[in-house]
């Protein structure tokens, strides 16, 4: 009995992806107000479900071959030997991209990057003689993109205490190497200068450590490409008209960026009453007011100190204390120079009466 085929490494990749997101989220010890990187580089692995509607041409070819194997069977036993697999109904792959990012205004970024998309689908058919036949097709893309990313300020979000959200818009071109090749042939895509499609995504800052930042993005892209050849060149009974297909689709991305040039970290101040400007920096007016207040306090303190010193000097040397010792010394000197005989003579002398 046939069962749907998935990539052998799919469980490991999904587990690693989930573990990475969990560890990155746990490593986020602080929620940043803004991305401080002016110039940074990034790598972006992702999971994508390609919007490839032309897979039906390859499935029709497999059904036709299977039917011919059944018709070639001569006995019932040979007919039972004939078996087939079907191509997956979803083109699941793991694109990667890398690029450089520049913040020309706060919370406004422009980026340029290049990616690589690779999706190989293969199945096995068994004929009446129990021989296996492999059939496959591969979608390959080399997109070049320009991106504009806008970080949504926290005051616009209803989720308080959360980190940075961002919206990204992209425009894609395709480079040589964008093609489809199969068991039956190969066709290359054209590379117009005007571009091939667009993309949009919503991102969230998962973790931040020093100059490293990890964003998680969920989005959609449409990269429509054309070729001078037709699908009839790469699959039996394919349409004869010029081929076109899409290498975009739903995407889940993890962007790891490293800041090469960064703005200085905001200065932390323990005094919550002092006004702060955006980014944690104290505005110049607040600094001037603080300096004026400190100068006023220092002036008052110096005046108080000088008044206190004058008071201490006055208390240490009062005028009365300076004159008192001189009078006492004069009295003592006079008492010593006057003898007892002089005192008795002075007492015996009659007092002069005033003349009438």
> What pLDDT is recorded for position 7?
46
β-bridge pairing 249-262 and 212-230: antiparallel
d(CA 110, CA 183): 41
> What pLDDT is recorded for position 332?
58
Positive or negative, the CA dihedral 83, 86, 87, 88 is negative
* Residues 207/191, Cβ–Cβ less than 8 Å: no
CA 52 to chain centre: 32
Per-residue pLDDT of the chain (356 residues; tens, 9 = 90+): 333 344 444 444 444 444 444 444 444 444 556 677 889 999 999 999 999 999 999 999 999 999 999 999 999 999 999 999 999 999 999 999 999 999 988 889 999 999 999 999 999 999 999 999 999 999 999 999 999 999 887 655 554 455 678 999 999 999 999 999 999 999 999 999 999 999 999 998 888 888 899 999 999 999 999 999 999 999 999 999 999 999 999 999 999 999 898 877 766 555 555 555 444 555 555 555 556 566 666 666 665 666 555 555 555 555 444 445 555 555 555 555 555 555 554 554 555 544 43
> What pLDDT is recorded for position 20?
44
What is 10-262's CATH topology? Porin (2.40.160)
Cβ neighbourhood burial of 220 (10 Å; 0-12, 13-18, 19+): middle
> What pLDDT is recorded for position 9?
47
> What pLDDT is recorded for position 30?
44
> What pLDDT is recorded for position 263?
77
> What pLDDT is recorded for position 4?
39
Integer CA distances (angstroms), 222 to 88, 112, 166, 172, 246, in order: 21, 18, 20, 9, 7
């Amino acid at each position: 009995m046939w069962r749907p085929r998935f990539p052998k490494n799919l469980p490991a990749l999904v587990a690693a992806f989930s573990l990475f997101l969990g560890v990155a989220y746990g490593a986020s010890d602080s929620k940043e107000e803004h991305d401080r990187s002016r110039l940074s580089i990034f790598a972006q692995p992702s999971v994508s479900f390609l919007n490839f509607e032309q897979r039906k041409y390859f499935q029709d070819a497999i059904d036709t071959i299977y039917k011919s194997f059944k018709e070639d069977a001569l006995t019932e036993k040979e007919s039972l030997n004939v078996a087939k697999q079907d191509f997956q109904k979803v083109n699941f792959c793991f694109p990667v991209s890398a690029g450089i990012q520049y913040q020309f205004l706060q919370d406004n970024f422009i980026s340029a990057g290049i990616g690589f998309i690779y999706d190989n689908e293969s199945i096995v058919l068994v004929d009446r003689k129990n021989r296996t036949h492999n059939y496959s097709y591969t979608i390959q893309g080399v997109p070049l993109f320009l991106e504009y990313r806008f970080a949504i300020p926290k005051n616009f979000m209803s989720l308080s205490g959360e980190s940075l959200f961002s919206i990204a818009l992209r425009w894609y071109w395709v480079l040589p190497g964008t093609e489809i090749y199969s068991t039956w042939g190969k066709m290359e895509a054209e590379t117009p200068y005007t571009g091939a499609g667009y993309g949009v995504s919503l991102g969230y800052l998962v973790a931040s450590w020093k100059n490293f930042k990890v964003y998680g993005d969920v989005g959609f892209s449409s990269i429509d490409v054309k070729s001078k050849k037709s699908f009839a060149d790469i699959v039996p009974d394919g349409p004869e008209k010029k081929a076109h297909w899409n290498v975009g689709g739903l995407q889940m991305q993890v962007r790891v960026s490293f800041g090469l040039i960064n703005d200085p970290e905001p200065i932390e101040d323990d005094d919550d009453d002092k006004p702060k400007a955006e980014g944690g920096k104290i505005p110049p007016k607040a600094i001037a007011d603080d300096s004026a207040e400190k100068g006023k306090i220092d002036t008052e303190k110096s005046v108080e100190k000088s008044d206190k010193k004058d008071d201490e000097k006055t208390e240490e040397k009062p005028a009365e204390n300076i004159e008192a010792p001189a009078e006492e010394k004069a009295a003592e000197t006079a008492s010593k120079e006057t003898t007892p005989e002089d005192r008795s003579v002075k007492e015996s002398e009659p007092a002069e009466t005033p003349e009438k």
